[in-house]
Structures are given as structure tokens and as C-alpha cells.
């Protein structure tokens, strides 16, 4: 009978629980999603520059942004209308709807979606109000 030497195999996990310790079977922990650029928020305007019920256009990190004030809450969407590229920041507000000044396309500034077809819309951007300053994450 021939005897073969058996080498012990070392188990190397393909994952680790990280700094919070090991996971128990069935335990779920939320994944902390970190911004690619934690310094992405850029000052865009002062709160008093956008009165309630209005929208204005601003340049943030090279992007044209429409900033709207709906009842004292601020929203930021891409300034370019999907129809013909009209400036949404020059539109007229009615509640949370901005109407493009060129051809009348309407967008909900809280979602960026087109009112007539909510399956499409323009980009929305995160907002932070710090004191009297409005910061936008245009990334």
C-alpha cells in the first residue's frame, strides 16, 4: 500500500465582514455608499436669490442647473429641456411644475420628470442648504 502525503489546505475567505466584526448567519447589514467625491457639493446661490414660486438658472461645475423654490424648499434639475434644449431656469413655475419658455414642455422640479410622460425626464441633483447658501452636487 502506497502512502501519500496530504497537504493541509488553507481556507481563504473571498469576503470579509469588515471593521464591524463578523456576520451571524442570516444577518444583513446595510452597505454604506460613499460619494465618489465627498467634496462634490458646490455653492450655487443664496436662498434669497430664488424667491418662493420661482426658478432660476445657474452654472455649477460647468453644468447649467435650474434651481427652483417650491414653498421654501429648493430643488435642482438639469437646465436643458429635452425637446429643443430650452432653458428651464427661464421658465414659469406653477406649483412644482416648470414650463419651458420655448415650446411649453412641463417638468416636475421635484423629480425632473416630464409632466405629460413621467417615464422620461431631466437629471435631478442633490441640494444642501447651509445657512443662507444653497449647495448643489452636480456630479
Residue 67 has a pLDDT of 97
Is 49-137 assigned to CATH 1.10.3720.10? no
pLDDT tens string 33-65 = 344 555 589 999 999 999 999 999 999 989 999
- Please state, in angstroms and rounded to a whole number, the distance separating the CA atoms of residues 13 and 51: 56
pLDDT greater than 90 at residue 8: no
- Domain ranges for the chain: 49-137
Residue 120 has pLDDT above 60, yes or no: yes
Mean pLDDT for 26-34 is 43
Is residue 87 exposed (0-12), middle (13-18) or buried (19+ Cβ within 10 Å)?
middle
**Cα distance between residue 2 and residue 49, in whole Å:** 88
CB atoms within 10 A of CB 90: 15
More confident residue, 118 or 22: 118
68, exposed or middle or buried, with CB in 10 Å at 0-12, 13-18, 19+?
A: buried
Amino acid at each position: 500500500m502506497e502512502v501519500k502525503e496530504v497537504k493541509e489546505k488553507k481556507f481563504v475567505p473571498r469576503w470579509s465582514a469588515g471593521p464591524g466584526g463578523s456576520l451571524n448567519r442570516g444577518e444583513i447589514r446595510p452597505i454604506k455608499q460613499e460619494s465618489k467625491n465627498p467634496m462634490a457639493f458646490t455653492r450655487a446661490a443664496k436662498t434669497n436669490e430664488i424667491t418662493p414660486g420661482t426658478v432660476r438658472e445657474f452654472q455649477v461645475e460647468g453644468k447649467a442647473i435650474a434651481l427652483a423654490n417650491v414653498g421654501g424648499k429648493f430643488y435642482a434639475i438639469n437646465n436643458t429641456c429635452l425637446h429643443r434644449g430650452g432653458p428651464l431656469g427661464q421658465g414659469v413655475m406653477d406649483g412644482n411644475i416648470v414650463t419651458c419658455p420655448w415650446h411649453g414642455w412641463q417638468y416636475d422640479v421635484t423629480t425632473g420628470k416630464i409632466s405629460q410622460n413621467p417615464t422620461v425626464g431631466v437629471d435631478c441633483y442633490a441640494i444642501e442648504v447651509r445657512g443662507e447658501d444653497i449647495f448643489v452636487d452636480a456630479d
